[in-house]
Amino acid sequence: MPYRAMIMTVITVTLALLVVGLWVRAIAPVLAQARASTQPAATVPHAPVSTVPATQRTAAQSVSSIIRGTMLLSFLLICLMLIVGIFASMREWLRYRALRPMSSTVKKTPYVDAWKIAGERAKAAPLPPEEDSEPPTQTPEK
């Protein structure tokens, strides 16, 4: 039933893409914050510059968390594909194994001693000499 396997593959890929889309949507605010903190200011501030509160994350921390999240997601997807591949391989192997006949007795080829047969043929009665069927031709004398 290859159609069922193809449908399951399409569903699996769709779910993986859905998870990636949800993950990208979840980290969009972090990406926006990292982009905003690395851009130069468009105008010169008129108020005194205040220090960044200790609770707010810096751009480097935000980008490093994005990188860690990307690596974790990649690792999980690779593990998922590995597990699915192992299960699919086992399924096909078991299907192939089930189709083969389970005969434990193997019919062996009978032993033939070719040298013995050749020796028996050599010891057999010799064949009578072959006679020429054509009469000897005489060459005309001059």
pLDDT tens by residue, 59-70? 777 777 888 888
Cα(first)–Cα(last) distance of the chain, in Å? 92
Does residue 90 lie in a domain region?
A: yes
Examine the pLDDT at 57 and tell me if it is beyond 60. Answer: yes
Confidence of residue 100 (pLDDT cuts 50, 70, 90): confident
Contact 10, 71 (CB under 8 A): no
Examine residue 46 and state whether it is found in any structural domain, yes or no.
Answer: no
Q: How many domains does the chain have?
A: 1
Res 8 pLDDT > 60? yes
Please say if the pLDDT value at position 49 is more than 80. no
On whether residue 15 sits in a domain, the answer given is yes
Domain presence at residue 106: no
Asked if residue 51 is part of any domain, the answer here is no
* Residue 124 counted as domain residue: no
d(CA 41, CA 38): 9
Amino acid (one-letter) located at 71: M
Which residues span the domain enclosing 77? 2-38+58-99
In degrees rounded to 5, what are phi and psi of residue 63? -65, -40
